[in-house]
């Protein structure tokens, strides 16, 4: 069974990553790109072929399906969720995966023309996968394991249950969402209609990751109004919006940047800076696990603008700020057994659970605040959103086995 499951996972994964599903943060449509629906329609067809008769794609791009219970026991309805889109940070078109069986633990040539290597010295976790089937990019695109690995794992687990009706289980709901990578994945998701009591996203990274905490998140746009005059006649007249933009960024704490933080440490991350002497803008994401620290960071952005307005004149700096999502811990802790069941499933499979906060967000963070507590489980990939992304087939198989073990534990515990 083990070899057969690996073959099925690999076949699915390669089929899914062949479809470009990159989302677009600049789009005003939902989903943000029509090409995401190419994969969504494929998934509906596959679910129908497996016998999930209610599998459907709705007007918002959500794929949902139900595997009915095959027992009379009172078992909570469990949801399994993954997202179809890939990151806007790098192309997801024409992905050419490299499959390396019995990886030797050494440097991997990604692209000969670019002299590009995936090296354990740069990514120490890589050496842990020696002897496994390693899947990498060719150095020109991302791989798409985030989150097509999660989709492949869910689909393979569901197929296994369909083909083995002697395995008793409660009702299982499947949900595949668009636009997770741009923070809009479940904005129009109907939790009540979905009908699950608890759910799990298969959207984590390394083997064993189990997460029920994530960042509180906000986006801030800093708009700067300068005054442009001829530089030869600029003394005491010019107000250079670009210079003020650099000054604004320089006033933020240097060590509260992503490159200096880890674990529970939050940050300000400048994502974009553009403009002219006359007008400029900076875009930031603000992150912290601690709600009080999060609110302090937002207040500091506003205070910095106030300081510069006093220096250069009222209205010079204007802030547009919007909360994006919040730490799901508050919503998951009251039903902490959802985490404990996932942890037990991993331990029974010989996997060491790595319980740590997500330094980002998942669809599960919003779903939790929408009334569907939703911890996050590893999908197995590393270095998401870039050309150094990789995953092993063995990690994907383990994730599939965790799904099946959790479903079994819910049947045994009935809670």
Reported as a single tens digit per residue, the pLDDT across 350-402 is 999 999 998 888 899 999 999 999 999 999 999 999 999 999 999 999 999 99
Higher pLDDT, 25 or 22: 22
Domain containing residue 152:
2-214+327-413
- In this prediction, residue 361 carries a pLDDT of 80
63 with 51, same domain?
yes
The CATH number for 201's domain is 3.40.630.10
Taking the C-alpha atoms of residue 372 and residue 363, their distance in angstroms, rounded to an integer, is: 11
Helix axes 36-49, 2-17, angle to 10 degrees: 150
Query: Both 77 and 129 in a single domain?
Result: yes
Do residue 104 and residue 182 come from a single domain? yes
Shared-domain flag, residues 230 and 86: no
pLDDT at 362: 83
pLDDT digits (tens, 9 = 90+) for 95-153: 999 999 999 999 999 999 999 999 999 999 999 999 999 999 999 999 999 999 999 99
Give the pLDDT of residue 3: 66
CATH of the domain at 298: 3.30.70.360
At residue 413, the pLDDT reads 87
Whether this model's pTM surpasses 0.85: yes
As a whole number of angstroms, the distance between CA 236 and CA 215 comes to 44
Question: How far apart, in whole angstroms, are the C-alpha atoms of residue 214 and residue 221?
Answer: 22
| pLDDT above 60 (res 1) | no
Average pLDDT over residues 230-242: 96
Mean pLDDT of the chain: 96
Task: Single out the residue in 324, 347, 370 at which a domain terminates.
Answer: 324
- Among the candidates 309, 324, 339, a domain finishes at 324
The catalytic residues are 85, 180
Residue 130: both structure tokens together: 């020696």
**pLDDT at position 414:** 78
Q: What is the pLDDT of residue 360?
A: 83
Q: Which of 331, 339, 326, 325 is nearest to 376 (CA)?
A: 339
pLDDT band at 2 (very low <50, low <70, confident <90, very high): low
Q: Are residues 261 and 395 in the same domain?
A: no
152 and 292 co-located in one domain: no
- The total domain count for the chain is 2
pLDDT of 21 > 60? The answer is: yes
- Given strand 98-100, what is the order of strands in its sheet? 98-100, 134-136, 390-392
Residues 376 and 251 reside in one and the same domain: no
Query: Within this chain, do residues 202 and 127 fall inside the same structural domain, yes or no?
Result: yes
Quick check: 214 and 330 in contact, CB under 8 A? Answer: no
Judged against a pLDDT cut of 90, whether residue 415 lies above it is answered with no
Whether 246 shows a pLDDT value over 90: the answer reads yes
Give residue 49's pLDDT. 98
Mean per-residue pLDDT, 219-236: 96
pLDDT for the residue 44: 98
């Amino acid at each position: 069974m083990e070899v057969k499951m690996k073959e099925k996972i690999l076949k699915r994964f390669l089929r899914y990553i062949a479809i470009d599903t990159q989302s677009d943060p600049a789009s005003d449509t939902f989903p943000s790109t029509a090409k995401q629906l190419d994969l969504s329609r494929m998934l509906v067809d596959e679910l129908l072929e497996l016998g999930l008769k209610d599998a459907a794609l709705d007007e918002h791009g959500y794929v949902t399906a139900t595997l009915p219970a095959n027992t009379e026991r009172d078992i909570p309805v469990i949801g399994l969720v993954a997202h179809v889109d890939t990151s806007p940070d790098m192309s997801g078109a024409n992905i050419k995966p490299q499959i390396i069986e019995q990886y030797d633990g050494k440097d991997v040539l990604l692209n000969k023309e670019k002299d590009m290597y995936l090296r354990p010295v740069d990514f120490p976790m890589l050496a842990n996968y020696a002897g496994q089937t390693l899947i990498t990019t060719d150095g020109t695109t991302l791989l798409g394991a985030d989150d097509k690995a999660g989709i492949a794992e869910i689909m393979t687990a569901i197929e296994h249950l369909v083909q083995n009706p002697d395995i008793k289980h409660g009702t299982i709901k499947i949900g595949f969402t668009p636009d997770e990578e741009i923070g809009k994945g479940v904005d129009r998701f109907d939790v009540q209609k979905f009908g699950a009591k608890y759910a799990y996203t298969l959207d984590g990274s390394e083997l064993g990751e189990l997460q029920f905490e994530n960042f509180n998140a906000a986006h801030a746009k800093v708009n700067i109004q300068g005054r442009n005059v001829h530089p030869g006649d600029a003394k005491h007249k010019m107000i250079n919006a670009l210079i003020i933009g650099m000054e604004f960024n320089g006033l933020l704490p240097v060590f509260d940047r992503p490159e200096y933080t880890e674990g529970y440490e939050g940050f300000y991350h400048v994502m974009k800076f553009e403009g002219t002497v006359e007008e400029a803008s900076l875009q930031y994401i603000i992150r912290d696990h601690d709600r009080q620290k999060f609110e302090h960071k937002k207040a500091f952005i506003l205070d910095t603008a106030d300081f510069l307005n006093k220096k250069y004149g009222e209205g010079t700096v204007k802030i547009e700020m919007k909360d994006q999502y919040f730490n799901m811990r508050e919503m998951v802790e009251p039903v902490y057994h959802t985490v404990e069941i996932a942890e037990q499933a991993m331990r029974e499979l010989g996997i060491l659970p790595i319980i740590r906060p997500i330094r980002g967000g998942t669809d599960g963070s919003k779903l939790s605040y929408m009334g569907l507590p939703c911890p996050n489980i590893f999908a197995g990939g590393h270095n998401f959103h870039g050309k150094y992304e990789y995953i092993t087939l063995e990690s994907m198989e383990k994730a599939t086995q965790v799904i099946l073990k959790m479903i079994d534990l819910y049947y045994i515990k009935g809670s």
